[in-house]
Amino acid sequence: MSNSTNNLLILGDAHVDLTQRSVHWPDRRLDLTVLEADLLRYLAERRGRWVDRETLLTEVWGYSRMVVTRAADHAVSRLRRKIEPDPGRPRWLTSTRGGGYRLEHLDTPTQACPLEVSSFVGRVRELAWLGRALRRGRITGIVGPVGIGKRRLACRAAHGWDGEVTRVSLEGARGAQAQRAVAAGLGARGSELEEVGTTRDRILVLLTEASCLTTRDLAWLRRLRRCAVLVVGAPEQLTGRRTLRLGPLGDVDAAMLVRERSPVELTHAEAAALAAAFGGHPLAIELAARAVGGWALAASGAVVGGVEHVELRHQS
């Protein structure tokens, strides 16, 4: 989340004091030059709006429009090294190919995708399908029962996206409120959604907790012309044929998930038996595997109702 109060800017973990010309991180303090502070203040006063290079040179530097210089670009580069967690992938001070800059604001539940997707298991075919759909720039949906892994799969797909990703939670938002949340997450007003889609490159907009959306929302979602939109949990009518219906994990992937999440070493047979007992349901498997704890699983070899019996024996 971000906030600004007079001369204080809160940009994630970076707290910027424009009066003292300083940037405070949890582990360090950095100083701003007078020019850097003036530039940041000018953009903060126009937060969420693009400002072209020529305007910055005129208003902040006091140059004539006849002057040709890269001073603004160099100053922005220095600022990013001070206020961005990753200057190479700026989150707050963004730019366009045409030479404009903007200070972003995130006053909605916009979140990065969780880092733990690196331990993601399975869903190879589903990820490939999502990758193809998103590269076409379409509005794509993921549906399925609770706990089947919709949001986790979406975050994994976003993790592999080769451009900017903006994630917005739409929990509790409806109609115009949902549109405003998405617009704010992208640093735009509702009327500027077309501009976002045509001035910023390769944006993936990930909308989670989107069960509130209806087909009436298609009109404004389609205004994100050059954005790929991935909607999690929206009604299937919203995305039609571009909907991925997520089901249980296959046997091999389910057993792999059990072994990945279990705090004790399991044989393949033990993992497969536990995975089968929970029908390949990812959330149930995650909870069961973590609950194993001090218990040892042993496949007894007995068959009950066509399913191998599993005993839980406590290890003392």
Tens digits of residue pLDDT in 98-131: 678 989 865 444 454 543 444 678 899 999 999 9
Give CA–CA dist 218/193, Å, rounded: 13
Task: Tell me the residue ranges of DSSP E strands in 156-306.
Answer: 164-169, 203-208, 228-232, 243-245, 295-304
Of 78-92, 161-175, 197-211, least confident by mean pLDDT is 197-211
Distance of CA 16 to the CA centre of its chain: 24
Residue 206 has phi, psi (to 5 degrees) of -105, 115
What is residue 314's predicted lDDT score, i.e. its pLDDT?
38
Degrees (nearest 5) of the Cα angle 45, 47, 51? 90
d(CA 246, CA 244): 6
Q: How confident is the model at residue 187 (pLDDT cuts 50, 70, 90)?
A: low
Contact 122, 256 (CB under 8 A): yes
Taking residues 297-314, what's their average pLDDT?
Answer: 39
pLDDT attached to residue 199:
45
Domains annotated for the chain, with CATH where assigned, are 2-103 (1.10.10.10), 110-245 (3.40.50.300), 251-314 (no CATH)
**Phi, psi for 165 (deg, rounded to 5):** -125, 130
Do strands 295-304 and 307-314 pair parallel, antiparallel, or not at all (unpaired)?
A: antiparallel
Both tokens of 175, joined, read: 């109609």
